[in-house]
Amino acid sequence: MVDLSVTLSNLKLDNPIIPASGTFGYGLEFKDFYDINILGSFSMKGTTKEERFGNPTPRIAECTSGLINSVGLQNPGIDFVVEKQLPIMKKYFKKPIIANISGFSVDEYKYCAEKIDKQEQVGIIEINISCPNVHNGGMTFGTDVKAAMEVTKAVKAVTTKPVYMKLTPNVTNIVDIAKACEEAGADGISMINTLLGMRIDLKTKKPIIANKMGGFSGPAIFPIALRMVYQVYEAVKIPIIGMGGISTAKDVIEMMLARCNSSTNRKCKFKKSLCM
């Protein structure tokens, strides 16, 4: 049998397949359909300090070769995840997970990251500074070099586990953001999150999504993700988790050819779909 194992910041995965945050929840809905332990890992639902109901409905708009969503980081809050969700998850998923953390202030990022860092099940902490579906948080930190550095430094100061910064494509130059995160101490980069998009209902002449705009994901964004991963790989020395429109094995190979498969110890892992 072919050995598909990979190592990501000293965390060994049986294979590089990692469902992205926001697409897989906590794995509970999928475990009855197949043994999810065949996955390398998965990035759990994005978590904030307080419980969030999320954005008003409608939250979804269909597009050609993709989807716009504006869920708005709906989640039960970090305390519930740590006290209730992780113990349940441990019963059906036996491998280390990637914990996706989001926030509306630097202090909130620190609080959540420090709390999740203490959990045995967590192998990597993924810091979401790229969600386009919330106001005054998420993407706000990922579009400014200084803000990205501030969050990275703050989280690294209170954690012991590898920290991967999840970047937004909704910037002029994603390379600058990636380099800033690396300089601030990030152990790796996750990229890309969704592109900001919208749809308008021709009958009502109003936006379909209540929040007007949301995150556009799906096969249509793959060329953009590929280009950005290639650019960032050329600029940083830390690992990259590549995502964005990946839907086939051929997409994975193409992403690898964007130099994710360096002959050095730098590795690029792949998430099949994209988030938030």
pTM: 0.92
Quick check: is 264 in a domain? yes
Contact criterion met (CB below 8 Å) for 64 and 220:
yes
Q: Which CATH number is 89's domain given? A: 3.20.20.70
Q: Which pLDDT band, with edges at 50, 70 and 90, does 274 fall under?
A: very low
Quick check: is 105 in a domain? yes
H-run or E-run covering 195: strand 195-197
Quick check: is 275 in a domain? no
Share of residues in the chain with pLDDT > 90 (%): 81
| pLDDT greater than 50 at residue 79 | yes
Alpha-carbon gap, residue 160 to 155, rounded angstroms? 10
Strand partners for 214: 197
* Residues with a known catalytic role: 131
| pLDDT greater than 90 at residue 47 | yes
| pLDDT greater than 50 at residue 275 | no
Quick check: is 145 in a domain? yes
Q: List the one residue out of 141, 142, 151 whose CA is nearest residue 106.
A: 151
Query: Which amino acid, one-letter code, is at 270?
Result: F
Quick check: is 182 in a domain? yes
In the prediction, which pLDDT does 257 show? 82
Query: Whole domain around residue 27: which residue ranges?
Result: 6-270
Q: Which pLDDT band, with edges at 50, 70 and 90, does 255 fall under?
A: confident
Quick check: is 1 in a domain? no
| pLDDT greater than 90 at residue 260 | no
**Which tens digits make up the pLDDT trace of 54-69?**
999 999 999 999 999 9
**Which tens digits make up the pLDDT trace of 94-152?**
999 999 999 999 999 999 999 999 999 999 999 999 766 555 555 578 889 999 999 99
For the record, the structure tokens of 176 come out as 């600058």
CA-based diameter of the chain, in Å? 56
| pLDDT greater than 80 at residue 196 | yes
Quick check: is 276 in a domain? no
| Structural domain count, the chain | 1
